[in-house]
Amino acid sequence: MPLLVMKFGGTSVADLARIENAAQKVQREFERGYDVIVIVSAMSGKTNEMVGWVEQTSKLYDAREYDAVVASGENVTAGLMALRLQEMGVPARSWQGWQVPINTTSAHGSARFISIPRDNIDAKFAEGFKVAVVAGFQGVSAEGRITTLGRGGSDTTAVAFAAAFGAERCDIYTDVDGVYTTDPRVSSKARKLDKIAFEEMLELASLGAKVLQTRSVELAMRYKVRLRVLSSFEDTDETSGTLVCDEEEIMESKVVSGVAFSRDEAKMTLVTVEDRPGVASAIFGTLADAGVNVDMIVQNISEKNYGTHTGAVTDMTFSVPTNQVARAQKAMEDAKAAGLLAYDDLITDTDVAKVSVVGIGMRSQVGVAAKTFAALAAENINIKVIATSEIKISVLIDRKYMELAVQALHDAFELDRP
């Protein structure tokens, strides 16, 4: 029998009415002849509620007990979904992570997959239970403890099951009807894409697009799992949503497929750092050890007078998420106090945003950077930092110009046109 994986996020199973709506979509695929693995999230808001309970109970909580608590939301949804399907005449059975088992590392709160054996679910399929409803976001460690995968982990669970079971496709049901050229709330001209390549989706997800969790796209690209993003709240067919697939499945790619943005960025500059071999390693090794996620990096000639320095100096600018600024500042100050680094000043700007254009068509087209910078210049938007890769161009700009920049770039690359 062909197998399909269907994943329903928190908004799609927010209450009993929405669980019934999701169950009807599962029933339709079962009636088409599929064996179905359904991955469910906790009901909308429940994970946050449980995290709050843990933090109120214990400020320095045991991560193992944290996982035991927050994983329970998905267990409730899985049981309710299986019950609803049974009432509809669909032979369904619910599965918690340890029952499959979903084997993970012991990194509680951010576990990673080790293996997903097929034997137990395949045996139930053979017995006639044609729908397995699996609690997403969770697994079990070698010690037998419940683990969780981090926020967005249900997307990753769905892709992992699709890869393990050789699914025909993995359908991600959410509160939007596909992947758009940019956020429709920012640009009214945003257009839904019929198809997008794995690499483009990975860049968009990592650059701020919230449709899919980054780890899930990485996994899908590695194992060539075809993903389809579609709405839980609309009638759908085989042509609905956006297909995330291998580049070879896309007949002709536009130069730019989308514009992504992130408001939660900060720019940090170390002023007059000694310009010598190993200084970059000292800076970014220290930040990595402190758990700081560095993105854009620029090294340039220092603006300060060289008079007080015996050798060459440089300024080092980099971007970090705003919620990691304090950690980055402390790491740099501690390294300076310990004599590992020498610099005159650390300047932080938390009033910036990152805007990026992404497209696999950039590989074969020239002039994309020129068009990007010209579009921003026409709106009198100054660029603070630039970073590029084979299929993206990212810029840091003042946050107040973010929406204007997104709209200008969307227009410049005519993304409203098919």
Measure Cα distances from 325 to 214, 337, 341, 376 in Å: 22, 18, 18, 27
Instruction: Please tell me the distance from the alpha carbon of residue 235 to that of residue 226, in angstroms, as a whole number.
Output: 21
The annotation status of 47 as a binding-site residue, yes or no, is yes
Instruction: Please tell me the distance from the alpha carbon of residue 63 to that of residue 33, in angstroms, as a whole number.
Output: 42
Measure Cα distances from 97 to 147, 157, 225, 401 in Å: 9, 10, 21, 45
CB 259 within 8 A of CB 186: no
CB 35 within 8 A of CB 130: yes
C-alpha 175: how far from chain center: 16
Check whether the bond before 418 is cis (ω within 30° of 0): no
Instruction: Please tell me the distance from the alpha carbon of residue 315 to that of residue 299, in angstroms, as a whole number.
Output: 6
The annotation status of 8 as a binding-site residue, yes or no, is yes
The annotation status of 333 as a binding-site residue, yes or no, is no
DSSP code of 177? S
What are the structure tokens assigned to 43, written together?
């009901």
Instruction: Please tell me the distance from the alpha carbon of residue 262 to that of residue 355, in angstroms, as a whole number.
Output: 7
The annotation status of 74 as a binding-site residue, yes or no, is yes
Three-class secondary structure of residue 40 per DSSP: strand
- Annotate 19-39 with DSSP letters as a single string: HHHHHHHHHHHHHTT-EEEEE
The annotation status of 258 as a binding-site residue, yes or no, is no
Instruction: Please tell me the distance from the alpha carbon of residue 408 to that of residue 163, in angstroms, as a whole number.
Output: 39
Give the torsion sign (CA, 116, 120, 124, 126): positive
Measure Cα distances from 389 to 199, 213, 256 in Å: 12, 20, 13
The annotation status of 174 as a binding-site residue, yes or no, is yes
Instruction: Please tell me the distance from the alpha carbon of residue 259 to that of residue 356, in angstroms, as a whole number.
Output: 6
DSSP code of 106? S
Binding-site residue positions:
7-10, 47, 74, 174-175, 180, 185, 210-211
Binding-site residue positions for substrate:
47, 74
Binding-site residue positions for ATP:
7-10, 174-175, 180, 185, 210-211
